[in-house]
Amino acid sequence: MSNPRTVECERHGPQPETFVCQHIVLSLHTRLPVGFFWPRDTQESRPNAWCAECEARVKAMDGEWTGTAGQELGVSLLCAVCYDEARELNLEGKIGPRAV
């Protein structure tokens, strides 16, 4: 596995980059859990992740990130430490934490 690309986080300095939906990023500010989903078939320690609302939209599109599923995703960059905080917050909320 290659070295991950890094991002400069205002809070945590240089960290590996990760990608999540915009709703997970917002949950870090509101502290309200929105769910946390990721691909089941990944070996990554911090795979791309999305919320319960995005999961419902992608299921409505037969599992494809097309139409409203892709439009509403709003892929956002987080540092690895922020990702870990988001995962912990959103898995505690028990709104669909699982690999899909």
Per the structure, the complete domain to which residue 14 belongs is given by 6-99
Distance of CA 27 to the CA centre of its chain: 11
Q: How confident is the model at residue 93 (pLDDT cuts 50, 70, 90)?
A: low
Report helix, strand or coil for 63.
coil
Query: Is 74 among the domain residues?
Result: yes
Query: Is 1 among the domain residues?
Result: no
If one counts the domains in the chain, the total is 1
State the chain's mean pLDDT as an integer: 89
Query: Is 82 among the domain residues?
Result: yes
Report helix, strand or coil for 17.
strand
Query: Is 48 among the domain residues?
Result: yes
Partners of 37 in the beta sheet?
A: 50, 98
Does pTM top 0.95 for this prediction? no
User: What pLDDT score does 69 carry?
Assistant: 87
With a cut of 60, say whether residue 28 has pLDDT above it. Answer: yes
Asked if residues 22 and 73 have their Cβ atoms less than 8 Å apart, the reply is yes
pLDDT mean over 15-41:
96
User: What pLDDT score does 24 carry?
Assistant: 97
